[in-house]
Amino acid sequence: MSKLIDIRNKIDEIDEELVKLFTKRLDLAKEVANTKILSKTAVLNFEREEEVLLRTSKIAGELGRQITTIMKTVMRISREKQYEIICDNDEDWELKNITQASLNNKYKEDIIVFGGNVGSYSERAAIIMYPNVVPIGQKSFEDACKLVAREKADIAVLPLENSTAGTVNEVYDLLPKYGLYIVKALSSDIENCLLGIKGAKLSDIKEVVSHPQALMQCDKLIKNMNLISTPSENTAFAAELVSKSNNKSIAAIASQKTAKEYSLEILLSSINNETTNQTRFVALSKKPRISSTANRVSIAFKLAHQSGSLDSVLSIFADLNLNLVKIQSRPIPHMPWEYLFYLDFNSEIDNKDAFRALYHLEKELPYLAFLGWYKQEN
């Protein structure tokens, strides 16, 4: 045991020396940053970093791979220090200027649209988010986005993800397609019911109609009852279809409100696979709308095709103590095997480290899209 203590004491001594050397290196990084501000030189220099990695790997000999990993981390942190200084002094940075300009501004919220019909979960979310406006239903999520993009509507309220069935991929794809921003988010409980026409019995049902997300949220019941699943644009549209069909063998999965709206009977209630079933709805606008209560940031980005590129991005958030709450990838339409990563992290609007992370990513990634800084409500 005493030998282990001796070894640890030696390690502590080496760590102290490493700290002193690393502090000196970061002091030089500050000088580099100030020089680059004057010369307007990019922080990241691939050739210089490759030169350092090659040289230090040769010096390390058989430990070259391990030293390369350490040096990559050292150089990333060095760049972070440089970006911190440059970001804080960059008065022309567009993203920071946009967020500051939109902070607590008054915006039109006269026309609110949602994807679906009366009685849909999206309508309910829109009413909660904008209680002073009567929201208008649209045939599809894309129709709602088009109206906002063309400034025919102020806000579109759409479902983005569900705690059971996962993301609504169509909505993720619509965000970059129409260049829309998330300005509010609401997590809302979803309680699905099985609805049939008047006089229908549970034993009559052979087919069930609903939005694909609702079908996934209730697929255990669907399998147990051996029902045919038919997708619909929206849960409320499904309820309307069943009501008009006058067919006892067809049921809809939708809310209790739709049962009243379309004169349907609740054959079964609370049919979700999981007792806790929530959908996260987002309000989308053509321009960013940021309030002092904003607590969540959403971005989309592309990665360089090289080893460790995703790890480098995630390490920036870890280094700056920013809490990631979501990351996923989606194929880019018309670009085979190219992907966009969607990432959310928690941050108050006055957090300088959040701006520094965004600045760092914007300068080094092939593509970065700011999707919004907004209040997430539960």
Length of the chain (residues): 378
Q: How distant, in Å, are the alpha carbons of 28, 134, 191, 197, 215 from that of 242? A: 71, 25, 19, 7, 15
Report d(CA 128, CA 157) in Å as an integer.
11
Residue 183 CB-half CA count within 13 A: 30
Report d(CA 262, CA 3) in Å as an integer.
79
Q: Are 282 and 175 in contact (CB under 8 A)?
A: no
The closest of 240, 245, 275, 244 to 255, measured between CA atoms, is 240
Told to judge if 317 belongs to the known catalytic residues of this protein, a careful annotator would answer no
SS3 content of the chain, % helix, strand, coil (to 5): 45, 25, 30
Q: Going by C-beta distance under 8 Å and a sequence separation of 6 or more, which residues neighbour residue 274?
A: 163, 164, 217
Q: Which of 114, 237, 279, 370 is catalytic?
A: 279
Told to judge if 293 belongs to the known catalytic residues of this protein, a careful annotator would answer no
> What is the CB neighbour count within 10 angstroms for residue 305?
9
C-alpha angle 288-292-297 in degrees, rounded to nearest 5:
50
Between strands 278-285 and 155-162, the pairing is antiparallel
Q: Which of 141, 237, 281, 370 is catalytic?
A: 281
| Catalytic annotation, residues | 279, 281
